[in-house]
Amino acid sequence: MSESNPNTPLIPPSSSARKLPDFTKSVKLKYVKLGYHYLITHGMYLFLSPLILLIAAQLSTFSLQDLHDLWENLKFNLISVILCSVLLVFLSTLYVLTRPRPVYLVDFSCYKPDDARKCTRQIFMDRSKLIGTFNEENLEFQRKILERSGLGESTYLPEAVLNVPPNPSMAEARKEAEMVMFGALDQLFEKTNLKPKDIGILIVNCSLFNPTPSLSAMVINHYKLRGNIISYNLGGMGCSAGLISIDLAKDLLQVHPNSYALVISMENITLNWYFGNERSMLVSNCLFRLGGAAILLSNKWPDRQRSKYRLVHTVRTHKGSDDKCFGCVTQKEDSNGKIGVSLSKDLMAVAGDALKTNITTLGPLVLPMSEQLLFLAALVGKKVFKMKVKPYIPDFKLAFEHFCIHAGGRAVLDELEKNLQLSDWHMEPSRMTLYRFGNTSSSSLWYELAYTEAKGRMKKGDRIWQIAFGSGFKCNSAIWKALRTVNPAKERGPWMDEIHWFPVEVPKVSTI
């Protein structure tokens, strides 16, 4: 974040380390190869599809007399008939056994807290003063961060943080977790008319709150899920854990036929509010807010008719082998023993490098052939023939109609908008989610998708790119295709009673 007065020590002026790297400067060939490797792994389908079309086109030219003559020739040649039949059965069996099971997103729900949990920016500052642990300089630091954050006046915080004095405890943290998870799930079960006993796979991700019994066990106990349910509880994986959960659910649905998978993405604030004076740890207080989402996935063919989306691709990138990437988001104690999440000054550069790797791998899977050829020609010219040509950055707007970019903060959204050359319209769901709900961690992508639906923009056949960043450092993508046009009048989401107020103008600096 930049400061209007470069001489003030509260927020240092922006530097290249705090910006995403220019994607036009360098592209690593090995990640392009990885993308084409993913493409080639589906080579059998690419080969069989035109072959089947060619055979179908040839058969369409046959008349009834041609078919009769063919049968007359074959019925006296038993060996030919047997060979053709065996080949047909073999190819059909091979296709059925090796094709991936489709994964459908039946529906999803986002938790919207009660108005009693609303926290205006002024309330945030008042509570911070009343706590009595922040010095005046750091109160001013938080105020400046908040004024430039892109957050509005209607975000939410848990009761334990808003109380005076705050009373964070294990009991309050469990209370927050139950409120978010059960609130989202009750709405999802109502929307889908699904019985909890029908769930075969359960995945819960929450980075910073991992009690015993686990959050997934809390869900199983509350809804009395069946005893043979396959459950996972993912912790410590940051804001990108939601897409990791989707990827895990996809893999599980490949080996468990005729199943429903339930994914819950959330973060817990109660026990993770920072009460110290280390500035790198105070930023998270200013950005993170209460929220969560529940997503129902299915691999059942009949569910295609009622599902909203089909999962097309997931691409995961992990930069944890690099020490700078590994340590840029770290939960630790400050010099006074107070625990918080420290954000490194290298965060933007690390995020940009992870994003570049992710989209370079993703490109061959999603871009139209024209963009791939232009990109490949420029890359080969530069890497192989050492030509002084500017790398061609593909236009991802040709591959996707909608973008759901993790609403981690205004600076990240600004840089992604510039580097991916997106319009205000494409960035609107992310910016409005940050403004209305704040950074809700791994669930923010689903508030953004709900915004797109509430605006009536989702049409049958539209493609959606969800992209999120997380500690470690990770960048993950999920690609969806809309199976039907979503009618906002029939939706019950977090935006429906106020969508007519959006979008709103969010100034660069909004004074408190």
**Which is the catalytic residue, given 286, 325, 402, 419?**
402
Integer Rg of the chain from CA: 26
* CA proximity to 237, closest of 266, 216, 215, 214: 266
Enumerate residues 6+ apart whose C-beta is below 8 A from 370: none
Tokens coding 462: 């539209």
Q: Which of 299, 406, 419, 426 is catalytic?
A: 406
**Residue 350, φ and ψ in degrees, nearest 5:** -65, -45
Q: Compute how many other C-beta atoms are within 10 angstroms of the C-beta atom of residue 8.
A: 13
Instruction: Compute the half-sphere exposure of residue 339: CA atoms within 13 Å on the CB side of its CA.
Output: 8
Burial of 125 (0-12, 13-18, 19+ CB in 10 A): middle
- 233, 277, 419, 439: the catalytic one is 439
Helix %, strand %, coil % for the chain, to 5? 50, 15, 35
CA 72 to chain centre: 58
The rounded distance, in Å, linking the Cα atoms of 426 and 464 is 11
For residue 296, the cross-strand partners are 107, 262
Q: Residue 249 corresponds to which tokens in the numbers above?
A: 């659910």
Decide if 439 is catalytic: yes
Within a 10 A sphere around the Cβ of 353, how many other Cβ atoms?
Answer: 22
> And the tokens for 123?
């309330």
**Amino acid letter for position 406:** H
- 421 vs 399: CA distance, rounded Å: 13
**256 noted as active-site residue:** no
d(CA 344, CA 475): 17
As given in the structure block, the two tokens for residue 453 are: 């639906």
For 200, residues 6+ apart whose C-beta sits below 8 A from its C-beta are 226, 229, 230, 256, 259, 260, 261
Annotation marks residue 402 as catalytic? yes
Catalytic residue of the set 119, 233, 277, 318: 318
Catalytic residue among 110, 119, 206, 239: 239
Q: Regarding beta strands 201-205 and 260-266, do their DSSP bridges make them parallel or antiparallel, or are they unpaired? A: parallel
What is the spatial distance between Cα 448 and Cα 435, in angstroms, rounded to a whole number? 11
> Which two structure tokens, joined as six digits, stand for 160?
């334990």
Catalytic residues, by residue number, are 239, 318, 402, 406, 439
